[in-house]
Protein backbone atom coordinates (compact mmCIF):
# COMPACT_ATOMS: atom_id res chain seq x y z
CA UNK A 1 0.00 0.00 0.00
CA UNK A 2 0.98 3.65 -0.47
CA UNK A 3 0.72 6.02 2.46
CA UNK A 4 -0.50 9.59 1.91
CA UNK A 5 -0.21 12.27 4.55
CA UNK A 6 -1.51 15.83 4.45
CA UNK A 7 0.37 18.54 6.33
CA UNK A 8 -1.11 20.29 9.33
CA UNK A 9 -1.63 23.47 7.30
CA UNK A 10 -4.16 21.56 5.20
CA UNK A 11 -5.68 19.64 8.11
CA UNK A 12 -6.24 23.01 9.78
CA UNK A 13 -8.99 23.54 7.21
CA UNK A 14 -10.23 19.97 6.64
CA UNK A 15 -9.17 17.13 8.92
CA UNK A 16 -7.79 14.04 7.18
CA UNK A 17 -5.81 11.27 8.92
CA UNK A 18 -2.95 9.56 7.06
CA UNK A 19 -4.36 7.32 4.35
CA UNK A 20 -3.26 3.95 3.03
CA UNK A 21 -4.28 3.39 -0.58
CA UNK A 22 -3.59 0.90 -3.36
CA UNK A 23 -0.58 1.37 -5.69
CA UNK A 24 -1.21 3.26 -8.89
CA UNK A 25 -0.35 6.53 -10.56
CA UNK A 26 0.19 9.53 -8.36
CA UNK A 27 -3.16 10.82 -9.63
CA UNK A 28 -4.87 7.58 -8.58
CA UNK A 29 -3.17 7.64 -5.22
CA UNK A 30 -4.06 11.26 -4.42
CA UNK A 31 -7.64 10.88 -5.60
CA UNK A 32 -7.92 7.68 -3.58
CA UNK A 33 -6.63 9.35 -0.43
CA UNK A 34 -8.95 12.31 -0.84
CA UNK A 35 -12.00 10.05 -0.84
CA UNK A 36 -11.57 10.06 2.94
CA UNK A 37 -12.04 13.85 2.98
CA UNK A 38 -13.66 15.05 -0.24
CA UNK A 39 -13.81 18.63 1.00
CA UNK A 40 -10.01 18.66 1.10
CA UNK A 41 -9.74 18.05 -2.65
CA UNK A 42 -10.49 21.68 -3.54
CA UNK A 43 -7.64 22.73 -1.26
CA UNK A 44 -5.16 20.46 -3.04
CA UNK A 45 -6.41 20.77 -6.62
CA UNK A 46 -7.56 23.81 -8.62
CA UNK A 47 -10.67 23.95 -10.82
CA UNK A 48 -8.94 21.92 -13.54
CA UNK A 49 -7.88 19.25 -11.04
CA UNK A 50 -4.22 20.26 -11.27
CA UNK A 51 -2.20 20.51 -8.06
CA UNK A 52 -2.45 24.12 -6.87
CA UNK A 53 0.67 26.15 -7.51
CA UNK A 54 1.15 26.84 -3.82
CA UNK A 55 0.80 23.19 -2.84
CA UNK A 56 3.79 20.86 -3.00
CA UNK A 57 3.62 17.07 -3.40
CA UNK A 58 6.57 14.95 -2.28
CA UNK A 59 7.08 11.26 -3.06
CA UNK A 60 9.59 9.56 -0.80
CA UNK A 61 11.07 12.95 0.02
CA UNK A 62 11.37 14.10 -3.59
CA UNK A 63 9.26 17.00 -4.79
CA UNK A 64 7.05 16.31 -7.83
CA UNK A 65 7.31 19.34 -10.13
CA UNK A 66 4.68 18.12 -12.61
CA UNK A 67 1.20 19.26 -11.49
CA UNK A 68 -1.26 18.30 -14.22
CA UNK A 69 -0.92 14.71 -15.34
CA UNK A 70 0.54 13.06 -12.22
CA UNK A 71 1.41 9.87 -14.10
CA UNK A 72 4.30 8.83 -11.87
CA UNK A 73 3.77 5.19 -10.80
CA UNK A 74 3.77 4.49 -7.08
CA UNK A 75 4.22 1.06 -5.58
CA UNK A 76 3.83 -0.60 -2.22
CA UNK A 77 5.76 1.19 0.50
CA UNK A 78 5.95 4.53 -1.25
CA UNK A 79 5.15 7.59 0.86
CA UNK A 80 3.36 10.72 -0.35
CA UNK A 81 3.37 13.98 1.59
CA UNK A 82 1.20 16.95 0.58
CA UNK A 83 2.26 20.29 2.04
CA UNK A 84 1.85 23.98 1.39
CA UNK A 85 4.60 25.78 -0.47
CA UNK A 86 6.27 28.56 1.48
CA UNK A 87 4.65 31.75 0.22
CA UNK A 88 2.42 34.42 1.61
CA UNK A 89 2.48 37.01 4.35
CA UNK B 1 -33.04 46.70 15.76
CA UNK B 2 -29.84 48.28 14.45
CA UNK B 3 -28.09 46.47 11.65
CA UNK B 4 -24.76 44.76 12.05
CA UNK B 5 -21.91 45.89 9.83
CA UNK B 6 -19.78 43.12 8.34
CA UNK B 7 -16.21 44.12 7.47
CA UNK B 8 -14.25 41.80 5.17
CA UNK B 9 -10.51 42.25 5.59
CA UNK B 10 -7.16 40.79 4.64
CA UNK B 11 -7.02 39.14 8.06
CA UNK B 12 -10.55 38.03 8.76
CA UNK B 13 -14.18 39.10 8.98
CA UNK B 14 -15.28 41.55 11.66
CA UNK B 15 -18.82 42.15 12.86
CA UNK B 16 -19.50 45.66 14.11
CA UNK B 17 -22.55 46.40 16.20
CA UNK B 18 -24.02 49.62 17.50
CA UNK B 19 -27.01 51.47 18.80
CA UNK B 20 -27.02 54.23 16.24
CA UNK B 21 -24.52 56.61 17.82
CA UNK B 22 -21.93 54.20 19.20
CA UNK B 23 -20.47 51.30 17.31
CA UNK B 24 -18.02 48.64 18.44
CA UNK B 25 -16.21 45.73 16.87
CA UNK B 26 -18.01 42.79 18.46
CA UNK B 27 -16.68 39.68 16.71
CA UNK B 28 -13.82 38.43 14.56
CA UNK B 29 -14.20 35.41 12.33
CA UNK B 30 -11.62 33.61 10.12
CA UNK B 31 -8.81 35.37 11.98
CA UNK B 32 -5.76 35.72 9.78
CA UNK B 33 -7.51 34.61 6.59
CA UNK B 34 -8.19 36.93 3.64
CA UNK B 35 -11.93 37.59 3.30
CA UNK B 36 -12.68 39.12 -0.07
CA UNK B 37 -16.44 39.54 -0.01
CA UNK B 38 -19.39 39.13 2.27
CA UNK B 39 -23.13 38.91 1.74
CA UNK B 40 -25.95 39.21 4.25
CA UNK B 41 -28.96 37.57 2.62
CA UNK B 42 -32.02 39.54 3.71
CA UNK B 43 -34.36 36.76 2.57
CA UNK B 44 -33.33 34.31 5.27
CA UNK B 45 -30.73 36.10 7.41
CA UNK B 46 -27.81 33.97 6.21
CA UNK B 47 -24.31 35.42 6.09
CA UNK B 48 -21.81 34.35 3.44
CA UNK B 49 -18.06 34.97 3.60
CA UNK B 50 -15.77 34.44 0.61
CA UNK B 51 -12.17 33.58 1.46
CA UNK B 52 -9.12 33.69 -0.75
CA UNK B 53 -6.63 31.41 0.92
CA UNK B 54 -3.18 32.20 -0.37
CA UNK B 55 -2.21 28.59 -0.81
CA UNK B 56 -5.45 26.72 -1.12
CA UNK B 57 -7.74 28.75 -3.36
CA UNK B 58 -11.12 30.38 -2.87
CA UNK B 59 -13.57 29.12 -0.27
CA UNK B 60 -17.10 30.04 0.72
CA UNK B 61 -18.51 29.81 4.23
CA UNK B 62 -22.08 30.30 5.39
CA UNK B 63 -23.58 31.13 8.76
CA UNK B 64 -27.26 30.70 9.54
CA UNK B 65 -26.97 32.04 13.08
CA UNK B 66 -25.36 35.48 12.67
CA UNK B 67 -21.81 34.22 12.92
CA UNK B 68 -22.11 31.86 15.89
CA UNK B 69 -21.24 28.94 13.62
CA UNK B 70 -19.98 28.67 10.06
CA UNK B 71 -20.21 25.88 7.51
CA UNK B 72 -17.96 25.54 4.50
CA UNK B 73 -20.00 25.44 1.31
CA UNK B 74 -19.05 24.65 -2.26
CA UNK B 75 -17.01 27.39 -3.89
CA UNK B 76 -17.66 28.48 -7.47
CA UNK B 77 -15.42 26.50 -9.79
CA UNK B 78 -15.00 26.39 -13.55
CA UNK B 79 -15.85 23.24 -15.49
CA UNK B 80 -13.10 21.27 -17.20
CA UNK B 81 -11.55 23.45 -19.87
CA UNK B 82 -12.28 22.07 -23.35
CA UNK B 83 -9.38 20.59 -25.27
CA UNK B 84 -10.96 21.42 -28.61
CA UNK B 85 -13.35 23.99 -30.00
CA UNK B 86 -13.25 27.79 -29.84
CA UNK B 87 -12.14 28.01 -26.19
CA UNK B 88 -9.39 25.40 -26.23
CA UNK B 89 -6.84 28.18 -26.74
CA UNK B 90 -8.35 30.53 -24.15
CA UNK B 91 -5.40 32.15 -22.37
CA UNK B 92 -7.58 33.02 -19.37
CA UNK B 93 -7.12 30.49 -16.55
CA UNK B 94 -10.25 28.43 -15.95
CA UNK B 95 -9.75 28.58 -12.22
CA UNK B 96 -11.42 30.94 -9.76
CA UNK B 97 -8.82 33.21 -8.18
CA UNK B 98 -11.16 35.55 -6.30
CA UNK B 99 -14.83 35.79 -5.40
CA UNK B 100 -15.15 39.50 -6.03
CA UNK B 101 -18.91 39.97 -5.73
CA UNK B 102 -21.84 38.14 -4.15
CA UNK B 103 -25.51 38.98 -4.63
CA UNK B 104 -28.80 37.51 -3.54
CA UNK B 105 -31.31 36.64 -6.24
CA UNK B 106 -34.83 38.02 -6.31
CA UNK B 107 -36.93 38.44 -3.20
CA UNK B 108 -38.94 35.34 -4.04
CA UNK B 109 -36.00 33.28 -5.32
CA UNK B 110 -34.98 32.01 -1.91
CA UNK B 111 -31.64 30.21 -2.13
CA UNK B 112 -30.62 31.81 -5.41
CA UNK B 113 -27.22 33.50 -5.24
CA UNK B 114 -24.91 35.03 -7.81
CA UNK B 115 -21.12 35.17 -7.55
CA UNK B 116 -18.90 37.31 -9.75
CA UNK B 117 -15.34 36.14 -9.93
CA UNK B 118 -11.85 36.83 -11.13
CA UNK B 119 -11.32 35.75 -13.85
CA UNK B 120 -14.66 37.07 -15.01
CA UNK B 121 -16.92 34.08 -14.59
CA UNK B 122 -20.45 34.56 -13.27
CA UNK B 123 -21.77 31.67 -11.18
CA UNK B 124 -25.27 30.90 -9.92
CA UNK B 125 -26.40 28.85 -6.97
CA UNK B 126 -30.00 27.80 -6.52
CA UNK B 127 -29.47 26.00 -3.24
CA UNK B 128 -28.01 28.60 -0.91
CA UNK B 129 -24.42 27.98 -1.90
CA UNK B 130 -24.44 24.17 -1.77
CA UNK B 131 -23.60 24.05 -5.48
CA UNK B 132 -22.67 26.51 -8.22
CA UNK B 133 -22.99 26.57 -12.00
CA UNK B 134 -21.01 28.73 -14.40
CA UNK B 135 -23.11 31.01 -16.59
CA UNK B 136 -22.01 29.65 -19.94
CA UNK B 137 -23.58 32.31 -22.21
CA UNK B 138 -21.49 35.07 -20.67
CA UNK B 139 -18.34 32.98 -20.36
CA UNK B 140 -18.65 31.91 -24.01
CA UNK B 141 -19.48 35.42 -25.21
CA UNK B 142 -16.97 35.98 -28.04
CA UNK B 143 -16.26 39.54 -26.94
CA UNK B 144 -14.87 38.18 -23.65
CA UNK B 145 -11.61 37.60 -25.52
CA UNK B 146 -11.10 41.37 -25.67
CA UNK B 147 -11.67 42.00 -21.96
CA UNK B 148 -8.68 43.44 -20.14
CA UNK B 149 -7.18 43.10 -16.74
CA UNK B 150 -7.23 46.20 -14.59
CA UNK B 151 -5.68 46.04 -11.15
CA UNK B 152 -5.47 42.29 -11.66
CA UNK B 153 -4.01 40.25 -14.49
CA UNK B 154 -7.44 39.27 -15.80
CA UNK B 155 -10.87 40.84 -16.10
CA UNK B 156 -13.26 40.29 -13.20
CA UNK B 157 -16.90 40.81 -12.20
CA UNK B 158 -17.16 43.10 -9.20
CA UNK B 159 -20.74 44.39 -9.37
CA UNK B 160 -23.95 42.36 -9.65
CA UNK B 161 -27.25 44.22 -9.56
CA UNK B 162 -30.43 42.16 -9.42
CA UNK B 163 -33.36 44.33 -10.48
CA UNK B 164 -35.80 44.46 -7.54
CA UNK B 165 -38.67 44.55 -10.06
CA UNK B 166 -37.54 41.53 -12.04
CA UNK B 167 -34.87 39.05 -10.90
CA UNK B 168 -34.34 37.94 -14.50
CA UNK B 169 -32.90 41.38 -15.18
CA UNK B 170 -29.31 41.53 -13.93
CA UNK B 171 -26.65 44.16 -14.55
CA UNK B 172 -22.94 43.43 -14.19
CA UNK B 173 -19.92 45.68 -13.84
CA UNK B 174 -16.75 44.14 -15.27
CA UNK B 175 -13.21 45.47 -14.94
CA UNK B 176 -12.31 45.83 -17.75
CA UNK B 177 -15.20 44.58 -19.84
CA UNK B 178 -17.88 47.24 -19.54
CA UNK B 179 -21.43 46.86 -18.29
CA UNK B 180 -23.45 43.81 -19.31
CA UNK B 181 -27.14 43.09 -18.81
CA UNK B 182 -29.40 40.11 -19.12
CA UNK B 183 -33.20 40.25 -19.15
CA UNK B 184 -33.71 36.50 -19.30
CA UNK B 185 -31.93 35.37 -16.16
CA UNK B 186 -28.58 34.92 -17.87
CA UNK B 187 -29.57 33.09 -21.05
CA UNK B 188 -28.41 36.03 -23.14
CA UNK B 189 -26.37 39.16 -22.46
CA UNK B 190 -26.07 42.64 -23.95
CA UNK B 191 -23.21 45.10 -23.64
CA UNK B 192 -24.70 48.35 -22.29
CA UNK B 193 -21.82 50.76 -21.77
CA UNK B 194 -22.83 53.32 -24.36
CA UNK B 195 -21.68 56.80 -23.38
CA UNK B 196 -18.67 55.73 -21.33
CA UNK B 197 -15.21 56.78 -22.42
CA UNK B 198 -11.92 55.11 -21.61
CA UNK B 199 -9.18 57.71 -21.76
CA UNK B 200 -6.54 55.05 -21.08
CA UNK B 201 -7.08 53.74 -24.62
CA UNK B 202 -6.03 55.21 -27.95
CA UNK B 203 -8.58 57.93 -28.86
CA UNK B 204 -10.10 55.86 -31.65
CA UNK B 205 -10.91 53.10 -29.13
CA UNK B 206 -12.08 55.26 -26.22
CA UNK B 207 -15.79 54.65 -26.94
CA UNK B 208 -15.44 50.87 -27.07
CA UNK B 209 -18.00 49.69 -24.53
CA UNK B 210 -16.30 46.33 -24.21
CA UNK B 211 -13.10 47.96 -22.92
CA UNK B 212 -14.62 50.21 -20.25
CA UNK B 213 -13.48 49.98 -16.66
CA UNK B 214 -16.39 50.60 -14.32
CA UNK B 215 -14.91 50.46 -10.84
CA UNK B 216 -18.23 50.05 -9.09
CA UNK B 217 -21.87 50.04 -10.11
CA UNK B 218 -24.92 50.70 -7.89
CA UNK B 219 -28.66 50.96 -8.42
CA UNK B 220 -31.34 52.95 -6.61
CA UNK B 221 -33.67 50.43 -4.96
CA UNK B 222 -36.74 52.67 -5.25
CA UNK B 223 -36.04 53.68 -8.85
CA UNK B 224 -33.98 50.87 -10.38
CA UNK B 225 -33.62 52.65 -13.71
CA UNK B 226 -31.28 55.08 -11.94
CA UNK B 227 -27.74 53.72 -11.80
CA UNK B 228 -24.46 55.27 -10.74
CA UNK B 229 -20.97 54.22 -11.74
CA UNK B 230 -17.61 55.18 -10.37
CA UNK B 231 -15.60 54.57 -13.51
CA UNK B 232 -11.83 54.55 -13.91
CA UNK B 233 -12.18 57.80 -15.85
CA UNK B 234 -14.83 59.53 -13.77
CA UNK B 235 -18.42 59.34 -12.61
CA UNK B 236 -21.36 58.29 -14.79
CA UNK B 237 -25.08 58.08 -14.25
CA UNK B 238 -27.85 56.40 -16.18
CA UNK B 239 -31.51 57.34 -15.89
CA UNK B 240 -32.80 54.65 -18.23
CA UNK B 241 -31.61 51.43 -16.73
CA UNK B 242 -28.14 51.56 -18.21
CA UNK B 243 -29.12 51.89 -21.85
CA UNK B 244 -27.18 55.14 -21.99
CA UNK B 245 -24.65 56.65 -19.60
CA UNK B 246 -24.07 60.34 -18.98
CA UNK B 247 -20.71 61.62 -17.74
CA UNK B 248 -20.93 63.70 -14.58
CA UNK B 249 -18.54 66.64 -14.35
CA UNK B 250 -15.72 65.74 -11.98
CA UNK B 251 -16.48 67.15 -8.54
CA UNK B 252 -13.82 68.72 -6.34
CA UNK B 253 -11.42 67.45 -5.26
CA UNK B 254 -11.38 64.62 -7.82
CA UNK B 255 -13.59 62.47 -10.02
CA UNK B 256 -11.31 59.46 -9.65
CA UNK B 257 -12.06 56.74 -7.13
CA UNK B 258 -13.43 53.27 -6.64
CA UNK B 259 -16.42 53.36 -4.32
CA UNK B 260 -19.95 54.61 -4.86
CA UNK B 261 -23.15 54.21 -2.86
CA UNK B 262 -26.58 55.56 -3.70
CA UNK B 263 -29.57 56.40 -1.58
CA UNK B 264 -32.09 53.54 -1.67
CA UNK B 265 -35.00 55.99 -1.77
CA UNK B 266 -33.69 59.17 -3.35
CA UNK B 267 -32.47 58.64 -6.91
CA UNK B 268 -30.77 62.04 -6.91
CA UNK B 269 -28.40 61.26 -4.01
CA UNK B 270 -25.13 59.34 -4.20
CA UNK B 271 -21.81 59.25 -2.34
CA UNK B 272 -18.27 58.85 -3.71
CA UNK B 273 -14.81 58.60 -2.14
CA UNK B 274 -12.30 60.48 -4.27
CA UNK B 275 -8.64 59.68 -4.72
CA UNK B 276 -6.20 61.92 -6.54
CA UNK B 277 -5.83 60.03 -9.82
CA UNK B 278 -5.21 56.58 -11.24
CA UNK B 279 -1.48 57.25 -11.16
CA UNK B 280 -1.66 58.53 -7.55
CA UNK B 281 -4.12 56.55 -5.46
CA UNK B 282 -4.19 58.61 -2.28
CA UNK B 283 -6.55 61.29 -0.99
CA UNK B 284 -5.98 64.67 -2.62
CA UNK B 285 -3.54 66.70 -0.48
CA UNK B 286 -3.66 64.06 2.26
CA UNK B 287 -7.24 65.06 3.16
CA UNK B 288 -9.79 62.30 3.27
CA UNK B 289 -13.26 63.33 2.13
CA UNK B 290 -16.53 61.93 0.86
CA UNK B 291 -18.43 63.72 -1.88
CA UNK B 292 -22.21 63.67 -2.03
CA UNK B 293 -24.62 64.83 -4.66
CA UNK B 294 -28.26 65.52 -3.88
CA UNK B 295 -29.25 66.69 -7.34
CA UNK B 296 -28.35 63.85 -9.65
CA UNK B 297 -24.75 64.89 -10.10
CA UNK B 298 -25.31 68.56 -10.96
CA UNK B 299 -23.45 69.61 -7.80
CA UNK B 300 -21.57 67.99 -4.94
CA UNK B 301 -20.83 68.66 -1.28
CA UNK B 302 -17.41 67.81 0.11
CA UNK B 303 -17.94 66.06 3.46
CA UNK B 304 -15.01 65.82 5.84
CA UNK B 305 -16.15 66.21 9.46
CA UNK B 306 -14.58 63.42 11.46
CA UNK B 307 -12.35 62.21 8.62
CA UNK B 308 -8.57 62.74 8.81
CA UNK B 309 -7.63 66.03 7.20
CA UNK B 310 -3.87 65.90 7.31
CA UNK B 311 -1.31 63.33 6.21
CA UNK B 312 -4.04 60.80 5.44
CA UNK B 313 -3.29 58.14 2.84
CA UNK B 314 -6.31 55.90 2.94
CA UNK B 315 -7.66 54.36 -0.24
CA UNK B 316 -11.20 53.01 -0.26
CA UNK B 317 -11.79 50.09 -2.57
CA UNK B 318 -14.92 49.59 -4.62
CA UNK B 319 -16.75 47.62 -1.92
CA UNK B 320 -15.48 49.77 0.94
CA UNK B 321 -18.58 51.99 1.19
CA UNK B 322 -22.13 50.97 2.09
CA UNK B 323 -25.37 52.57 3.22
CA UNK B 324 -28.25 51.22 5.26
CA UNK B 325 -31.69 50.70 3.80
CA UNK B 326 -32.96 53.97 5.25
CA UNK B 327 -30.19 55.90 3.52
CA UNK B 328 -28.97 57.48 6.77
CA UNK B 329 -26.10 55.38 8.10
CA UNK B 330 -22.95 54.89 6.07
CA UNK B 331 -19.82 52.84 6.59
CA UNK B 332 -16.47 53.61 5.02
CA UNK B 333 -13.27 51.56 5.29
CA UNK B 334 -9.86 51.71 3.72
CA UNK B 335 -7.01 49.56 2.53
CA UNK B 336 -4.92 51.07 5.33
CA UNK B 337 -7.21 49.84 8.07
CA UNK B 338 -9.41 52.83 8.80
CA UNK B 339 -13.11 52.34 9.52
CA UNK B 340 -15.61 55.18 9.89
CA UNK B 341 -19.37 55.37 10.32
CA UNK B 342 -21.75 58.22 9.67
CA UNK B 343 -25.18 58.40 11.29
CA UNK B 344 -26.30 61.44 9.31
CA UNK B 345 -25.98 60.52 5.65
CA UNK B 346 -22.31 61.39 5.48
CA UNK B 347 -22.27 64.84 7.09
CA UNK B 348 -20.18 63.69 10.07
CA UNK B 349 -18.07 60.60 10.61
CA UNK B 350 -17.00 58.61 13.66
CA UNK B 351 -13.74 56.66 13.52
CA UNK B 352 -14.05 53.12 14.84
CA UNK B 353 -10.52 52.01 14.11
CA UNK B 354 -7.27 53.12 12.51
CA UNK B 355 -5.80 49.68 12.90
CA UNK B 356 -7.78 47.10 10.99
CA UNK B 357 -6.19 44.94 8.30
CA UNK B 358 -6.72 46.17 4.72
CA UNK B 359 -10.47 46.26 4.12
CA UNK B 360 -11.97 44.70 1.00
CA UNK B 361 -15.67 45.23 1.73
CA UNK B 362 -18.17 46.62 4.20
CA UNK B 363 -21.78 45.49 4.15
CA UNK B 364 -24.69 46.24 6.45
CA UNK B 365 -26.77 43.21 7.29
CA UNK B 366 -30.06 45.04 6.99
Quote the CA–CA distance of B9 and B51 in Å, as a whole number: 10
CA distance B272 to chain A (A): 31
Alpha-carbon gap, residue A54 to B187, rounded angstroms: 36
Confidence of residue B18 (pLDDT cuts 50, 70, 90): confident
Per-residue pLDDT tens for B93-145?
999 999 999 999 999 999 999 999 999 999 999 999 999 999 999 999 999 99
Q: What is the mean pLDDT of chain B?
A: 96
pLDDT score, position A83: 93
In a domain, A80, yes or no: yes
Q: What is the DSSP string of B273-322?
A: EEESBTTB-S-GGG---EEEESSTTS--EEE-BTS--SS------TBSEE
Q: What is the pLDDT of residues B202-244, one digit of tens each?
A: 899 999 999 999 999 999 999 999 999 999 999 999 999 999 9
3-state secondary structure (DSSP) of residue B238 = strand
A13–B96: do the CB atoms touch at under 8 Å?
no
Number of domains in chain A: 1
Residues of chain A in contact with residue B77, where contact means CB-CB under 8 angstroms, are 42, 47
Q: Considering only residues 52 to 71 of chain A, which have any Cβ-Cβ distance to chain B shorter than 8 Å?
A: 52, 54-55
- Positions in chain A whose pLDDT score sits under 70: 86-89
Portion 21-50 of A in contact with B at CB < 8 A: 39, 42-44, 46-49
pTM of the model: 0.95
Encode pLDDT of B25-45 as tens digits: 999 999 999 999 999 999 999
State the ipTM, two decimals: 0.88
What CATH number has the domain bearing residue A47? 3.10.20.30
SS (H, E, C) B88-137: CCCCCCCCCCEEEEEEECCCCCCCCEEEEEECCCEEEECCCCCCCEECHH
> Is the residue at A89 inside a domain?
no
Please answer yes or no on whether B94 and A43 come within 8 Å at the CB atom.
Answer: no
In this complex, the residue of B54, B75, B94 whose CB is nearest that of residue A48 is B94
Q: How high is the pLDDT of residue B311?
A: 96
Contact status, residue B272 vs residue B290, Cβ threshold 8 Å: yes
Let me know if residue A17 belongs to a domain. yes
What is the model's pLDDT at position B54? 86
Sheet holding B122-125, edge to edge: B98-104, B113-118, B122-125, B133-134
Determine the residue among B51, B57, B60, B81 to mutate to test chain A binding: the one whose Cβ has the most chain A Cβ atoms within 10 Å. B57
Mind listing the pLDDT tens digit for each residue in B260-305? Answer: 999 999 999 999 999 999 999 999 999 999 999 999 999 999 999 9
A12: containing domain: 2-84
Amino acid sequence: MVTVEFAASLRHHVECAPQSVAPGTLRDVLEGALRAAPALAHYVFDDQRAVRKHVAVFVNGQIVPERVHLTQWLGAGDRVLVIQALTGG
Amino acid sequence: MMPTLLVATRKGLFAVQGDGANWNIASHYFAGEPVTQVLADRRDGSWYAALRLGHFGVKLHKSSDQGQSWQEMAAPAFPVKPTEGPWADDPTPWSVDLIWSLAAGGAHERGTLWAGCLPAGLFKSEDGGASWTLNQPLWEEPRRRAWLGGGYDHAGIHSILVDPRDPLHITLGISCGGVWQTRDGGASWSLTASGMKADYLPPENADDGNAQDPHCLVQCAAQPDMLWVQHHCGIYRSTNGGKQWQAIAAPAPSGFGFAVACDPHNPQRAWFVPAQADVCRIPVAGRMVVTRTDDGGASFQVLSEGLPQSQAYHLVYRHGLDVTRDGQTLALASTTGGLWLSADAGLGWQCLSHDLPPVAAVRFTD
